[in-house]
């Protein structure tokens, strides 16, 4: 069995796989990381290998904790990957984007795939039908946009995502919701349209913490897949083990 650890900007996800089958997934904050790891190994003593992907400062300390229990890989730009990486600065490519590209490569090996990860940031990652990772884009995520409006102004309130009844806000709060929610959906649809104009038969995968909130608002056809990054990490672990 494999243990996959995805340390994002706001939370840590733990997943247990038996080969390609997802057995268990849970989330936590960074506090109490060692206790969570111990509990996972108590529940699944058959775990023999683990992989850690971290976009925070967790990776070094996490590896020390996890390696007590099993062989541990820390995903980095030096890790083996199954696709051709044409990113101009591969050493700066985040491990989360490496994992998403891997999942895209295995999910649609002979097709064009755009992966959109709607989390703290929104990342766009493109793998073409020749198995080549081309890059993509990074923009502020849903909550980051709400926080920015509050933090960088004197009077705008801090809000959380909400359904918008009309794209015309008739009060300050409804105007903020319209600007953030309507703006982010128009951005995503616009980006998808750009990629569709260049890549035929494009498959679009939407994942991340805000995927469900955003998916029903998009006009483009997409596949929502909440565990896409975790599957990519497990595939990378299997690839590096071999």
Q: Is residue 198 part of an annotated ligand binding site? A: no
Q: Is residue 13 part of an annotated ligand binding site? A: yes
Q: Is residue 43 part of an annotated ligand binding site? A: no
Q: Is residue 94 part of an annotated ligand binding site? A: yes
Q: Which of 59, 96, 125, 210 is catalytic?
A: 96
Q: Is residue 135 part of an annotated ligand binding site? A: no
Q: Is residue 160 part of an annotated ligand binding site? A: no
64 is catalytic: no
SS (H, E, C) the chain: CEEEEEECCCCEEEEEEECCEEEEEEEECCCCHHHHHHHHHHHCCCCCEEEEEECCCCHHHHHHHHCCCCEEEECCCCCCCCCEECCCCHHHCCHHHHHHHHHHHHHCCCCEEEEEEECCEEEEEEECCCCEEEEEEEEECHHHHHHHHHHCCCCCCCCCCCCCCCCCCCCHHHHHHHHHHHHHHHHHHHHHHHHHHHCCCEEEEEECCCHHHHHCCCCCCCEECCCHHHHHHHHHHHHHHC
Q: Is residue 172 part of an annotated ligand binding site? A: yes
Q: Is residue 104 part of an annotated ligand binding site? A: no
> What residues form the annotated binding site for K(+)?
117
Residues with catalytic roles: 96
Residues in the annotated binding site for ATP: 6-13, 120
Q: Which residues sit in the known binding site for substrate?
A: 87, 94-97, 172
Which residues contribute to the annotated binding site?
6-13, 87, 94-97, 117, 120, 172
């Amino acid at each position: 069995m494999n243990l996959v650890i995805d340390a994002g900007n706001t939370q840590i996800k733990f997943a247990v796989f038996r080969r390609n089958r997802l057995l268990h997934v849970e989330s936590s904050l960074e506090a109490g990381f060692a206790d969570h790891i111990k509990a996972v190994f108590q529940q699944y003593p058959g775990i023999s290998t683990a992989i850690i992907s971290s976009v925070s400062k967790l990776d070094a300390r996490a590896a020390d904790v996890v390696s007590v229990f099993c062989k541990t890989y820390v995903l980095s730009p030096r890790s083996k990957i199954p696709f051709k990486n044409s990113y101009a600065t591969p050493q700066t490519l985040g491990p989360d984007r490496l994992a998403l590209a891997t999942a895209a490569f295995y999910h649609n090996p002979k097709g064009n795939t755009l992966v959109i990860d709607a989390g703290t940031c929104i990342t766009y990652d493109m793998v073409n039908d020749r198995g080549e990772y081309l890059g993509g884009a990074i923009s502020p995520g849903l909550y980051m946009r709400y926080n920015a409006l509050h933090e960088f102004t004197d009077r705008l309130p801090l809000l959380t995502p909400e359904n918008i009844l009309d794209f015309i806000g008739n009060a300050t709060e409804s105007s903020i919701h319209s600007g953030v929610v309507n703006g982010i959906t128009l951005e995503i649809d616009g980006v998808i349209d750009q990629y569709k104009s260049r890549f035929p038969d494009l498959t679009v995968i939407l994942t991340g913490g805000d995927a469900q909130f955003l998916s029903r608002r998009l006009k483009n056809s997409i596949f929502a897949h909440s565990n896409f990054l975790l599957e990519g990490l497990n595939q990378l672990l299997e690839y590096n083990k071999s």
